[in-house]
Every structure is written in C-alpha cells, then in structure tokens.
Structure 1
C-alpha cells in the first residue's frame, strides 16, 4: 500500500549507502530503494556500489569542469 511502512528493514549498511545516493528520502523510502534493486541481496549491494561509484565520478567531473578557466570568446566560437 502506498505510503505505509515496510515490515522489514534493509541492513543498516545498505541504508547508509542508499542515503548517500538519495539524501532527501525518508527511512521508508530508502528501504523501498534497497528492496527494489535488481537480483538478490548481493546483486543489490553491487548495484548500490555501482551507483555510488557513478555518482562520485559525476561529482568529480563536475568539480573539474566548474574549475576550468573560462574560454575566451574566440575559443567559444
């Protein structure tokens, strides 16, 4: 039922990993994320790790991009 609490809890470490990816989600929403991951528990852990790595890569690339010097008008053309 939408909006209700789950009877089971994801492991604390899995909730922490999910919280890093989705910091604004509630406890129940994080449980839903963890339990909606594809495959068994181990496959879900691998998917959380993959998503975490992807987020870190995107954050590093964005930080690098935002620190690059601005291009001159000629370079932008």
Structure 2
C-alpha cells in the first residue's frame, strides 16, 4: 500500500510540474501514465485472493505445552 501512495504522490507532483512549467508538458503525460499504471497495480493487488497464513512451526528441540490433568 505504501508503493501505491508513493506512486500517486509522484504522479501528482509530475502533473503539477507539467501543467505549471512551460515546455514540460511531457511531465504531465508521464504523471498520467504513472497514475494509470498505479491503479492497474492496485486492481491486481485487490483482485488476488488473500493468502493463507503460514502454519506454525516448532523448532526440533521445543517442548509441547503441558496438557491439563484429567480426573
């Protein structure tokens, strides 16, 4: 998610520079391309099913927890 926010910020900054600076229209185009690519990556990320958590593993020397005494 941090990559998404970083790319959005880069796209906004490039867009502002492209609009504001004379002769740097290509910055605006690059910013739009980055923004579109960013939303494609976000869609791919959200479209994947969630991964199952890794099973717990014990080290070979670890002891099992004590079970309660049964009457």
Which structure's CA Rg is the greater one? Answer: 2
Give TM-score scaled by structure 2 length: 0.47
Give TM-score scaled by structure 1 length: 0.44
